[in-house]
Amino acid sequence: MTWVKSDSRLAYSLYRGLWSGLDLLFPPVCGGCEKPGARWCSDCQGRVGILNEPVCDVCGLPQKQAGTCNACRAERPPFHSLRSWSVFENPVRNALHRLKYRRDIGLGEALAMQLAEFVRGLNWPIDVIVPVPLGKQRLQERGYNQVGMIARPLALALGIEYAPKALYRQRETRSQVGLTKIERHDHVRNAFQALGVVVDRKTVLVMDDVATTGSTLSSSAEALLSSGAKDVYALTVARALAHHMSHA
């Protein structure tokens, strides 16, 4: 298996090298504040809103004490744990918006470096990284899945297999803005299917850009587990906390 690792490390340095070369030709702007110079500047890095510890060891929401929160104890989510790098607020919010609408691949790579640090610290036993997919229609409109722009370089940086097609949507879902937790859950239930050949007996890291209630990740995890995945961990770049806070 050693050659696989060194092969991916070579791919990774070529990838990094390509971006450093392009930066000399076209100086980048920061995805968080649009200041020229870096794709992700040190000011923005310093302003990343880390979720306050302690968080629930399952759903990752901040709470008063360590352990599993009441909601997760009442109904355990299908994923092992969900963690997010940042609170869904600026500068990360801007950066995710930019990834979604401007296809800033270099920014995806810069953020993936930050996430790689974060994921290493979690010490999760992951075999493969799978992004939450877009529906066919949305993929056609946008032309790319913005989650993949972070998930792919993240997998490269961690030396973990990347499987962008392991999960797919069987039906389109609408925007979930304004839906309650229960409505969201019903809305995305059975929205996904997974390819057993890719995930069978593997521990999967399913990744999305933003989580609110975690219902999309729950539905993804259900699909992965019913296709034979051994366990599923969930990661998002950001966590929207408004819903949680309005109930706190």
Enumerate binding residues for Zn ion (CB under 5 A).
Answer: 30, 32-33, 41, 44, 56, 58-59, 69, 72
Considering the complex, state which of residue 33 and residue 51 has its C-beta at the smaller distance from Zn ion. 33
Alpha carbon distance 17, 104 (integer Å): 17
Q: How far is the CB of 58 from Zn ion (least distance, A)?
A: 5
> For the chain, how long is the longest CA-to-CA vector?
55
Tell which residue, 58, 3, 19, 12, has the closest CA to residue 162.
12
Considering the complex, state which of residue 69 and residue 198 has its C-beta at the smaller distance from Zn ion. 69
Q: How far is the CB of 19 from Zn ion (least distance, A)?
A: 17
Considering the complex, state which of residue 41 and residue 211 has its C-beta at the smaller distance from Zn ion. 41
Considering the complex, state which of residue 145 and residue 218 has its C-beta at the smaller distance from Zn ion. 218
Q: How far is the CB of 138 from Zn ion (least distance, A)?
A: 28
Considering the complex, state which of residue 72 and residue 99 has its C-beta at the smaller distance from Zn ion. 72
Q: How far is the CB of 12 from Zn ion (least distance, A)?
A: 24
The rounded Cα 71 to chain-centroid distance in angstroms is: 22
Q: How far is the CB of 41 from Zn ion (least distance, A)?
A: 3
